[in-house]
Structure 1
Amino acid sequence: MRTVLAGTASLLLALGLATASHAGSRVEQILGRYENANRWRDHVMVVAHRGGGLEAGKSRYPENSIASIRGVIASGAEMVEIDIRRSKDGELIVMHDSWLDRTTNCKGEVIARTMDELRRCRLVVEGTGAVTGETVPTLREMLAVTKGRILVNLDNKLETADLADMVALARAMGMEEQVVVKANLWSAERLASVKETMSRVGNGFQFMPIIADDAVRDAGFIAAAGRAFSARAVEMITWRGDADKMTETGGPLFSARVRAASIRDNWHIWVDTHAIVNKPGGFLSGGRGDELAVAAGFPNEVFGFWAERGATMIQTDEPRAAIDWLAANGYRVPYADADESVAAATGDAPAPTN
């Protein structure tokens, strides 16, 4: 299924040489794979979009909720993506939209409410409309649930400078290595600006460039972006318009030159198969998204397609379905004591307070 590199990684595993993930806690094992992409080209890591709440056709959990995070941990996914905003009084909170209307039983702008006021809002399961007992969580509460259990990708809905406060919070909680922050990069000027901002944050955290093929097609720039931040992954967006056909190649970001750069500098190629509201299916992945994989029943044309084109990280709204298919088709390498560590991960995390 894979190239010679994949066979080499499998051989190393068989010989017991690639031992980074065969000791330590669950999150230490995940970090071993995240930080050593070239050792794990035969393993596709799964990232749960919006806290994993849109799973099962948006009917399983409220998005960006404590319940959804617990579900993601139990599924065996390596990373969870959550969206960060601020309350009126400056608290870092987890919420995708700038308005409360879609995801809670409240209405109005998020920034117009204090944290105490947001506590009175209840999260809603989008697919069923069910109002739950969960309130809008803070970033601190989310990090407490994930600590030692899973990596966390922060989708910053604020300014780039606000990443400093997010990293500071993770650092204060002793989990900056678990947290991946990111920003869109499209030019040398933008790269330099973000680099200068992040240099003030200090060391010890993970930064990931986001590259979209409507603005960047040069493998040299992608390589430079990865090196500038010592990135362990680069998020690739393959745009698809309403009238565009489904990609047959993966587009310019999945060229041989980009793949060579990822191998040379030891970083993961990350693809987004999750949906975007009011956009065509596979909008971020050249038409090869979750709708095709799960709703239409063609997972090989999505998860298999991207894995064969070098993606070793897939962000999806359907983490369980992705993990099951990838594992069944030889794209996942089991973790040591995975069942035991995942089960232990879901039982003792604190619930949010009202």
Structure 2
Amino acid sequence: MLTMTLGSAAAQDRTALILDRLQHANQWRDHVMVVAHRAGGLQGAKARFPENSLAAVEDAVAAGAEMIEVDVRRSKDGAFIVMHDSWLDRTTTCKGEAAERTLAELRNCRLVVEAGRAETNEAVSTLAELLAVTRGRILVNVDNKLGTEALPGIIAEAKALGMAEQVVVKENIWNDARIAEVGTALKAAGRGFQFMPIIADDAVRDAGFVEKVARTFNSHAMELINWRNGAETLTETGGALFSTRMRATAIRGGWHLWANTYAILNKPGGFLAGGRGDELAVAAGMPAESWGFWVERGATIIQTDEPRAAIEWLAAKGYRVPYGQKRPEMPTTTASIN
């Protein structure tokens, strides 16, 4: 669904270089892109920045991340705001539901650094404000915490800023009915934007269905989740969604396999990554058992709570190709042996 090319007016900005790697997965499979979860605000045991904050965005850009992931909700008066929880208590100095306060009221809520609840000078941001800060610098992955009916409005905000090519919206897909539901919402948004499906192996284990989803939405990446329940041992294979067949499917379709290694609220670390999450990579000093494991299973995009550490490790191991290099050519002929 993306119409921008490197010949466009935005060709000189950093996002054009990132888009080239996103849009041409097969030529860039030796480069692992890094996505900063909740804008990178949970780094250092949640002690560096507020999540979904502009301060975290700046650090993610400086670290060299290709994309930030942010969560979107609405204020009482309908403004799209950047916030993960429906309530304000955990991430701000205010209490109660965000949807029960107007945007003007939310402006009085200060973001806090989760570890120690250190108050900052930064207020809750609107989606438009955050997008404006990222223009030409980094891609934005929007996790819509509202219903699919909100997708056209979210996309319209990006289009109004002339930034639709920088924004990747996503939704969970698990069956044909869900394909139809999400497709209807995206059709209402028009053209000229990117959509990425999220597929979890608690509901989908068939590479054929994933291929159908990728083809239906013309996606450049598929976010694949390997669920871990309770105290299960670490995955040894990556699960059904990181199988040999899935990798072959991705290559045929020309799309990236996206792995999540971050922790989620009130769940054990690595819950979305077969147990092989950021806590293992950083706290235990075993990055190869997390980021390395997923790269070896074909992941070329990793979403993490530790983007700076992930980039440093991936670069040291040869999984990052410096920007500025020309896109590798695809072979046009095959060799024969007589």
Fold match by TM threshold 0.5? yes
Structure 2: which 5+ residue stretches go unaligned?
1-5, 326-338
Which of 33, 36, 41 does residue 48 from structure 1 map onto? 36
Q: 1:215 and 2:203 equivalent?
A: yes
Q: Where in structure 2 are the equivalents of 1:1-354 lying within 5 Å?
A: 24-336=12-324
Give how far 1:254 is off. 0.6
Distance in 1, Cα, partners of 2:92 & 2:184: 37
Q: Secondary structure at the match of 1:262?
A: helix
Give how far 1:278 is off. 1.6
Provide runs of 4+ in structure 1 moved above 4 Å: none
CA RMSD of aligned residues (A): 1.2
Distance in 2, Cα, partners of 1:277 & 1:193: 27
Distance in 2, Cα, partners of 1:245 & 1:281: 12
- Write the letter of the residue equivalent to 1:24: Q
Distance in 2, Cα, partners of 1:280 & 1:211: 20
Give how far 1:257 is off. 1.3
Give how far 1:318 is off. 0.2
- Write the letter of the residue equivalent to 1:316: T
Distance in 2, Cα, partners of 1:297 & 1:161: 43
Residues 273-312 of structure 1: per-residue CA shift (max 9 Å, x gap): 0001221120000000000000111000111110010000
Which residue does the alignment assign to 1:11?
none
- Write the letter of the residue equivalent to 1:246: L
Distance in 2, Cα, partners of 1:121 & 1:268: 38
Distance in 2, Cα, partners of 1:276 & 1:295: 16
Which residue does the alignment assign to 2:330?
none
- Write the letter of the residue equivalent to 2:108: R
Distance in 1, Cα, partners of 2:221 & 2:260: 13
- Write the letter of the residue equivalent to 1:167: I
Residues 229-273 of structure 1: per-residue CA shift (max 9 Å, x gap): 100000000000113110000000011111111100110000100
Distance in 1, Cα, partners of 2:63 & 2:323: 13
Which residue does the alignment assign to 1:16?
none
Q: Secondary structure at the match of 1:142?
A: helix
Q: Secondary structure at the match of 2:204?
A: coil
How many matched pairs?
A: 317
Q: Secondary structure at the match of 2:143?
A: strand
Residues 171-224 of structure 1: per-residue CA shift (max 9 Å, x gap): 111110110001100001111121122111111100001000000001010000
Distance in 2, Cα, partners of 1:101 & 1:280: 21
- Write the letter of the residue equivalent to 2:34: V
Which residue does the alignment assign to 2:329?
none
Distance in 1, Cα, partners of 2:40 & 2:231: 29
Which residue does the alignment assign to 1:15?
none
Q: Secondary structure at the match of 1:281?
A: coil
Distance in 2, Cα, partners of 1:271 & 1:317: 12
Which residue does the alignment assign to 2:328?
none
Distance in 1, Cα, partners of 2:264 & 2:115: 15
Distance in 2, Cα, partners of 1:295 & 1:285: 16
Q: Secondary structure at the match of 2:258?
A: strand
Give how far 1:25 is off. 2.1
- Write the letter of the residue equivalent to 2:183: K
Distance in 2, Cα, partners of 1:42 & 1:128: 39
Give how far 1:326 is off. 0.1
Q: Percent identity?
A: 64
Residues 30-84 of structure 1: per-residue CA shift (max 9 Å, x gap): 0000011001100000000011110111111111111111111111000000000
- Write the letter of the residue equivalent to 1:111: A
Q: Secondary structure at the match of 2:169?
A: strand
TM-score, normalization: structure 2?
0.92
Distance in 2, Cα, partners of 1:113 & 1:197: 27
